Structure 1
Amino acid sequence: MLIVPEREIADLMTREAAFEAVEKVFAAMAAGEARNFPVVREALGHEEALYGFKGGFDGAGLTLGLKAGGYWPHNLERRGLINHQSTVFLFDPDTGMVRAMVGGNLLTALRTAAASSVSIRHLARPDAKVIGMIGAGHQATFQLRAALEQRGFEKVIGWNYHPEMLPNIEKVAAEAGLPFEAVELDGMRAADVIISITSAFAPSLMADHVSPGTHVACMGTDTKGKQEVEAALLARATVFTDEVAQSVSLGEAQHAVAEGLIAETDLIQIGEVINGTHLGRTDAQEITVFDGTGVGLQDLAVASAVVDLAVEQGVAIEVDF
């Protein structure tokens, strides 16, 4: 069995490699060549933590495995650790033998950012200039860096439940040589692309905060009950997702479907746009929403890629198991 420790990931996995891995697996899902397994996600009743498993099998990439992990909301303040903690396990699809164990913390941030940036590349208007960020935590910085590579953005605007955290994304904007402005939520009307990356259970972005032609990537809702945007926004938009079943059960679409504002059949897999079987955005005034629920196949795709790189560079640890 190969082990790729968390400490090695930063030197192995790039944003470009994560983007390529996620885009390919979304395409494979839409083509029926890869499937996710049902998600197990539970509140532990300890440390207010959420813990679960995501897995799947990619027949195109011959990747089989699962990610185990979750969210510990007090890690940063109490222990100096990031709140999201996870590990990816890969298995040989021919024999079932364990192939690798891979640190999943940085990979989770990279694959989540890759998913939203895939949606921006395929769905945002080509002339998008202003990007809005809702959320300014650890993952928001990864989201913004990846997103800025997809269009010629000229300005970053941001809002957060805790305004004192906004310097996190202001720093990323400065790194890219872009101005940053803190706004109230109605200020998001100036954005051409909006990324929402929070852990909220009540919506902050409302339908009237979004202007025609905007692309919205909802990246924080991955559990029953969570909600970042008003359900009415999805009713105004063309809604794309990583996986329809997961979107309806625990993604942002769970609320709009439950309220009868949209139907499950209205949801479109982003992989269909990648494969060219769906046109994606059809006009400059259309609002597009990407419901990024975070599928297990994303984790397996980036973990498999990082294992190959670790072997190439001689940093994978091999143990008998």
Structure 2
Amino acid sequence: MTDDGILVVSEDACRELVGRKDAFDAVEAVFAAMARGDAYNFPVIREAIGYADALYGFKSGFDRAGLALGLKSGGYWPGNAAKGLTNHQSTVFLFDPDTGRLKALVGGNYLTAVRTAAASSVSIAHLARPDARVLGMVGAGHQSAFQLRAAAEQRSFEKVVAWNFHPEMLPALGKVAAEIGLPFEAVERERLGAEADVIITITSAFEPLMMRDWIKPGTHIACMGTDTKGKQEVDAALVAAATVFTDEVAQSISIGEAQHAVAQGLKAEADITPIGAVINGAHPGRNSEAEITLFDGTGVGLQDLAVASVAADLAKAGGRAQVVRL
């Protein structure tokens, strides 16, 4: 709680105030805090509610370094698009860690997109080869534009190659590439794997879309779509062959991209490294030019709290937050 009420930060305010650099810095810092043991996520609750085909749940945690305490509540309503609404709906609740009192309510839809893109861009910054020049995009949904813009700021890419299950969606992603000055080409998946130095997968697939044999040495892959048991974006053999990093190991092996390789005995939990260890300098990250690195971005509540805290601070400082007194 502020001195005179609870802050309410709208979606519009978040969109106008929180930029990609803000999100990158917040996510990088919270990954580092997690690896140091200064921040931890609480168990995730996610359930089908038996109405409107919706999934609903909570992600929460506490960052002692950033003093962010709270939760993100929301989920996925597949019928929203027909109503002119975003399918993913969420709100972040921030609490004062000194008193437990509610401090802020922050719109979570834009922030979820920008923090997810920030996570993959953090992985690119710390793991991709410095000379990476071709960016591969697997997926062309709402999140893909955020991913493309964030990734393009981490390396001097010269081209974007992309594939989507529904190819008619690719021109919209091509417009984003054109806006940031990158040539764009729709290609088949095998060619994407052969050309791309960095690959971002951002789909809701339940089967592998990229196979081990298609990936060239030295590639960095950010798997950002697998966040539920059963989902899968890449071949388990590719996970096995790669040096794997993640936001949170427990989620990686249970609901993340590593779940299949671990279940098949192709990868051990001990072989998966929190990316915060690379950020902190406790792990060297990439060891060679030929090494395939893979970031398993499962999405953690602490990411949401970190960017929501930034939004609340900026909104308060800029007079963009409503104040509610209870």
Secondary structure of the equivalent of 2:16?
A: coil
Q: CA deviation at 1:208?
A: 1.5
Q: Does 1:36 align with 2:15?
A: no
Secondary structure of the equivalent of 1:257?
A: helix
Q: State how far apart, in whole Å, the 2-side matches of 1:4 and 1:241 are.
A: 30
Match of 1:306 in 2: 311
Q: State how far apart, in whole Å, the 1-side matches of 2:214 and 2:47 are.
A: 32
Q: CA deviation at 1:255?
A: 1.0
Secondary structure of the equivalent of 2:69?
A: strand
Match of 1:55 in 2: 60
Match of 1:219 in 2: 224
**1:238-253 equivalent positions in 2, closer than 5 A:** 238-253=243-258
Per-residue CA deviations over 1:219-269 (Å, capped at 9, x if unaligned) read: 011111111111111101000000001111111111111111101111000
Structure 1 residues 60 and 141: alpha-carbon distance in aligned structure 2, compared to 1, 3 A threshold: same
Q: Report which stretch shifted further, 177-186 or 295-304.
A: 177-186
Q: Does 1:123 align with 2:118?
A: no
Q: Give TM-score, length-normalised by structure 2.
A: 0.97
1:173 to 177, 188, 191: 177
Match of 1:205 in 2: 210
For the Cα contact (< 8 Å) 1:201–1:226, is it kept in 2?
A: yes
For the Cα contact (< 8 Å) 1:137–1:168, is it kept in 2?
A: no
For the Cα contact (< 8 Å) 1:41–1:223, is it kept in 2?
A: no
Match of 2:3 in 1: none
Secondary structure of the equivalent of 1:35?
A: strand
Give the AA of the match of 2:289.
Answer: A
Give the AA of the match of 1:177.
Answer: G
Q: Does 1:275 align with 2:318?
A: no
Give the AA of the match of 1:21.
Answer: A
Match of 1:287 in 2: 292
Q: Unmatched 5+ residue regions in structure 1? A: none
Q: Does 1:156 align with 2:156?
A: no
Q: CA deviation at 1:46?
A: 2.7
Q: Does 1:99 align with 2:103?
A: yes
Per-residue CA deviations over 1:12-57 (Å, capped at 9, x if unaligned) read: 1000000000000000000110000111111223333221110000
Secondary structure of the equivalent of 1:315?
A: coil
Q: Give TM-score, length-normalised by structure 1.
A: 0.98
Q: State how far apart, in whole Å, the 2-side matches of 1:52 and 1:206 are.
A: 32
Q: State how far apart, in whole Å, the 2-side matches of 1:18 and 1:102 are.
A: 15
Q: State how far apart, in whole Å, the 2-side matches of 1:118 and 1:256 are.
A: 24
Match of 2:189 in 1: 185
Match of 1:12 in 2: 17
Q: State how far apart, in whole Å, the 2-side matches of 1:231 and 1:172 are.
A: 31
Q: State how far apart, in whole Å, the 2-side matches of 1:301 and 1:90 are.
A: 10
Q: Does 1:143 align with 2:147?
A: yes
Match of 1:64 in 2: 69
- Aligned sequence identity (%): 70
Q: How many residues of Structure 1 are paired with residues of Structure 2 in the alignment?
A: 320
Q: Report which stretch shifted further, 253-262 or 37-46.
A: 37-46
Q: Unmatched 5+ residue regions in structure 2? A: 1-5
